[in-house]
Amino acid sequence: IFAPRYGIYSHRLGDAWLAGGASNTGGKVLAQHFSLARIIELSAAIDPATETGLDYYPLGSPGERFPIADPALQPRLLPRPQSDADHLKAMLEGIAAIEALGYRRLAELGAPKLTSVRSVGGGAANAAWTAIRQRKLGVEFRPALSDEAAAGTARLALKGASEAGLL
């Protein structure tokens, strides 16, 4: 799938294609507002089963690549709740909503509908954020086979070496 108007591109992965895009939201935006220690502290106070009702689109600066390709898109981080925990929660909800829009966009363009998610990285260790993502995406979250960045590359290399008769 190639849809530059949405910031979607694809990479060949063996005999298949890996479609995706890269948003300007995420952990880097959170770090502009909270230290890691504060995120951990505030996350413990978040009820991920409820909604803040705020419609945030967390960006660190104007401009977005995926799922909306708009170099002038403005961040939406207002109104600012009094509670830091509610502010963080609204940001986490906004990031999860952007992720959900990305998966919907991919499906609209012909990708298979999302059925499950496996996550790794710092955000995956945050139980509140994971629960918010799971609620917004509406699919099962499964454990990753490995949280090592090189594991997938090693599997591909092993498969390629095996298919080439090198093993």
Find the helix or strand (DSSP H, E) in which 20 lies. strand 16-20
Q: pLDDT at position 39, please?
A: 98
Burial class (CB in 10 A: 0-12, 13-18, 19+), 136: buried
pTM listed for this prediction: 0.90
Q: Where does the chain have alpha helices with state H? A: 27-33, 36-43, 84-108, 127-137, 150-163
| Span 4-163 CATH architecture | 2-Layer Sandwich (3.30)
Neighbouring C-alpha atoms within 13 Å toward the C-beta of 93: 19
* Residue that has been written with the tokens 């600012």 in this structure: 80
List residues bridging with 134 in a β-sheet. Answer: none
151 CA to centre of own chain? 20
- CA distances (Å), origin 57, targets 12, 26, 150: 31, 10, 31
Take residue 75 and report the two structure tokens written for it.
């961040």
Domain boundaries, the chain: 4-163
Q: pLDDT at position 122, please?
A: 85
Q: pLDDT at position 152, please?
A: 76
Per-residue model confidence as pLDDT tens for the chain (167 residues): 999 999 999 998 878 888 889 999 999 999 999 999 999 999 999 999 999 999 999 999 999 999 999 999 999 999 999 999 999 999 999 999 999 999 999 999 999 999 999 998 888 999 999 999 999 999 999 998 888 868 877 887 888 888 888 88
Cis peptide upstream of residue 143 (ω within 30 degrees of 0): no
- Rounded to whole angstroms, the Cα distance separating 28 from 63 reads 14
Tell me the one-letter amino acid at 48: P
Q: pLDDT at position 147, please?
A: 82
Q: pLDDT at position 59, please?
A: 98
- Rounded to whole angstroms, the Cα distance separating 120 from 59 reads 21
Q: pLDDT at position 154, please?
A: 84
